[in-house]
Amino acid sequence: MIHWRIFPTREAQALALANAVAARLDEALTIRPRALLAVSGGTSPKAFLAQLAQLPVAWRDIAITLVDDRWVPPTHADSNARLVAETLLPGVTGAQWLPLVDMATDAALQVQTLNDTWTHGVPQVCVLGMGEDGHTASLFADAPQWHDAITTHRKFVLVQPQHAPHLRVSWSLTALAACECLILQIQGAAKREVLEAAQTEEQDNAISRLIHREGVKIDVFWSEE
């Protein structure tokens, strides 16, 4: 099930999304001592992350992680960790940062370690993006790991897309489906068409598989531009 929230501009979308995430985090902290927020990388979240950093959230009680990241150093231009470090982390004093990538170790070993030692559960609030091929997080249907990534009960998977750069670490589809609050941030007519098609009939892409999981609800923040 998806619920649409429509905005005329990216700026309006970013502000509304930041306020919605802050409210969800505050709500989560009323029933537990700590909350986990997962955010996405790429270009779309920049304004939202900058807005969120300015809001009066109890950051000392919140851990922040990524929905997915590319297997690159945190200073690399394609690193999602770099985006968060530049836009969100400077304004959230006291928040715990939980990166997914550790270049000091082997990628497969890092994913195994995450699965074996992760004690934070699934995110209370998870902000997703989506590609025009219907992938979300780094769950690409063209990857050799596709079937495992959408069926495993492990939280984290290693994915090598065939038509996108870099090896990736990602939350699995099952882990995403278990998140308490799923939000999708997208822009433009093309992505709206992809999402509407994914909702109408289950397709072989991650966002469609997620939408059609029993009990899953997604709040869609869509802007025209």
Indicate the pLDDT class of residue 123, thresholds 50, 70 and 90.
Answer: very high
Indicate the pLDDT class of residue 50, thresholds 50, 70 and 90.
Answer: very high
pLDDT of residue 170: 98
**What structural domains and CATH numbers belong to the chain?**
2-223 (3.40.50.1360)
Amino acid identity at 153: H
- Give pLDDT tens digits for 140-190: 999 999 999 999 999 999 999 999 999 999 999 999 999 999 999 999 999
Q: What residues have CB less than 8 Å from 217, skipping those under 6 apart? A: 1, 2, 3, 182
Q: What is the mean pLDDT of residues 25-50?
A: 96
Question: Are 191 and 132 in contact, with CB atoms under 8 Å apart?
Answer: yes
Residue 177 to residue 172: CA distance in whole angstroms? 9
Q: Which residues pair with 17 in a beta bridge?
A: none
Question: Are 34 and 63 in contact, with CB atoms under 8 Å apart?
Answer: yes
Q: To the nearest 10°, the Cα dihedral for 20, 25, 27, 28?
A: 140
The mean of the pLDDT values for the chain is 97
pLDDT of residue 74: 96
Question: Are 53 and 15 in contact, with CB atoms under 8 Å apart?
Answer: no
Residue 74 to residue 78: CA distance in whole angstroms? 9
pLDDT of residue 225: 82
Place of tokens 């000392």: 60
Indicate the pLDDT class of residue 42, thresholds 50, 70 and 90.
Answer: confident
Indicate the pTM of the whole model: 0.97
Residue 92 to residue 84: CA distance in whole angstroms? 11
Strands, sheet with 168-171, edge to edge from the N-terminal-most edge strand: 68-70, 168-171, 156-159
Residue 121: pLDDT above 90? yes
Indicate the pLDDT class of residue 43, thresholds 50, 70 and 90.
Answer: confident
pLDDT of residue 67: 98
- Give pLDDT tens digits for 71-106: 999 999 999 999 999 999 999 999 999 999 999 999
Residue 46: pLDDT above 90? yes
